[in-house]
Structure 1
Amino acid sequence: MRAVIDTNILVRALIMPHGTVGPVLQRLRHAEYILLYSQPLLEELADVLNRPRIRDKYGLNETDITTVLRLMLLRGEAVTPTRPITVCRDPKDNKFLGVAAAGQADVLVSGDEDLLVLHPFEGIPIISPAEFLRRLDERDTDKPV
C-alpha cells in the first residue's frame, strides 16, 4: 500500500509509540506499506521534531529524530509533485495532496479536518489513522499463510 501520512500523525506516532497512532511508525519499520514523501514534507517533519518545545516536552533527542527521518528514507519513496494543487482550505495542506496525486497513493492518512473533508481526492481516499491501520490489518488477514 502506498500512503501519504500527515506530519501530525508521524509526530504523534513518534512521541506516543504506545498510543493509537504509534503502530503507524511500527508498521513502516516492518515495511508493511510504502510511505510517500517529498522533500518539503521531510523538511516539515524535521522542523517540527526539532522545535525546542516539542523536544523538551516529549524528551526527544537527536537520535530519535534521526531514526525517524532515516526510516522515512529507507522505507519511503520520494515523490516530486508534478502540478500545483490549490483545493484545500488550509493552503499548507495542499502539499500532501500534491504528493498523493504524483505518487499514485492508495491513501492519504490524516486527522486534519481540512484534508478529511476532501475525501476522496482524485480517487484517493483520505482516511483517519485508525482506518489506515484497519486496512493494513485487513490486507494482512487476506494474505495466504
Structure 2
Amino acid sequence: MRVVLDTNILASAIRAGRGPIADIREAWLSGLFHLHISKPILDELERTLANPYFSSRLSREQVGLFVMSLRATSVVHPIPLFVPRVASHREDDFILATAKEALADFLITGDKRLQALQHHHKTRILPAQPFSDCLHEIAENDDRLRVADREASERGVSVEEIIMEIQSAKLRTIESYKSLKGLQ
C-alpha cells in the first residue's frame, strides 16, 4: 500500500506518544505500508520542525534523526517543475503532486481543505483516524494469516485457500477505506 503523509502528520508523528498518528508512525516503521515523499515535503517538514513550537521541544539531533529515517525508509519522488494549481494553498499542490507521482493509495492529512477534496486522481484523502482504523484492520488480517499459517503447518494441510481468503479480506479493507467508509 502506497501512502503519502502530509507535512502536518509527519511533524506530529515525531512527538506522538499514542493515538492515531502514533499508530500510523508505528505502522510505517514496521513496514505495514510504503511511505512516499518528495523534496518539497521534506523541505516543508524541516521548516515546520524549525519553528519555535517544535524547536523548543525537540533537539536538533532528534529532528535530524527523524528526517534521516524518513529519507532511509521512504520512496522519494521527483516532482515536475510545473505543478498544476489544484488546492487553495500552493504548498498543498506539492503534496497532491507527490501523491499523484507516487500513485498513492492514500494521502493522510489533518488539513481540512485537502480533506474536503476526498480524492485526487486515484488517491483517497483521509484524516489520521480513519486511516489508523484501516491499519488496525489490516494488522488484524495479518495476525489471522500468521495464525492460519501456523495451524496449517501444525496439521500438515494446505494453507493456500486460507491465505487467499485473508488476502482478499485485506484488499476489501483497503478498498472500503478508499471509498467513503467511516467519513461523514
TM-score normalised by L of structure 2? 0.72
**2:48 maps to 1:48:** yes
**2:128 maps to 1:129:** yes
Deviations 1:28-79 (A, max 9, x none): 22122111111111111111112234211xx200121012112211210011
Counterpart secondary structure, 2:3: strand
CA contact (8 A) 2:106 2:123 kept: yes
Alignment correspondent of 1:79: 77
Alignment correspondent of 2:172: none
Give the letter aligned to residue 67 of structure 1.
Answer: L
Unaligned runs of 5+ in 1: none
Q: Distance in 2 between matches of 1:107 and 1:137?
A: 15
The correspondence of residues 79-98 of structure 1 with structure 2, limited to 5 A, is 79-82=77-80, 84-98=83-97
Give the letter aligned to residue 18 of structure 1.
Answer: R
Q: Distance in 1 between matches of 2:4 and 2:87?
A: 16
Q: CA deviation at 1:19?
A: 4.1
Give the letter aligned to residue 73 of structure 1.
Answer: R
Q: Distance in 1 between matches of 2:84 and 2:98?
A: 10
CA contact (8 A) 1:81 1:101 kept: no
More moved, 78-87 vs 103-112 = 78-87
Say which structure is richer in helix. 2
Q: Distance in 1 between matches of 2:140 and 2:29?
A: 19
Alignment correspondent of 1:104: 103
Counterpart secondary structure, 1:117: helix
Matched-pair identity in %: 24
Deviations 1:104-145 (A, max 9, x none): 101000111110111111121000111111111222222311
Q: CA RMSD in A?
A: 1.5
Alignment correspondent of 2:59: 61
Unaligned runs of 5+ in 2: 147-184
Counterpart secondary structure, 1:25: helix
The 1:23/1:67 distance shift into structure 2, 3 A limit, reads: farther
Q: Distance in 2 between matches of 1:26 and 1:66?
A: 19
**2:36 maps to 1:36:** yes
CA contact (8 A) 1:3 1:34 kept: yes
Give the letter aligned to residue 13 of structure 2.
Answer: A
Alignment correspondent of 2:17: 17
Counterpart secondary structure, 2:31: coil
TM-score normalised by L of structure 1? 0.89
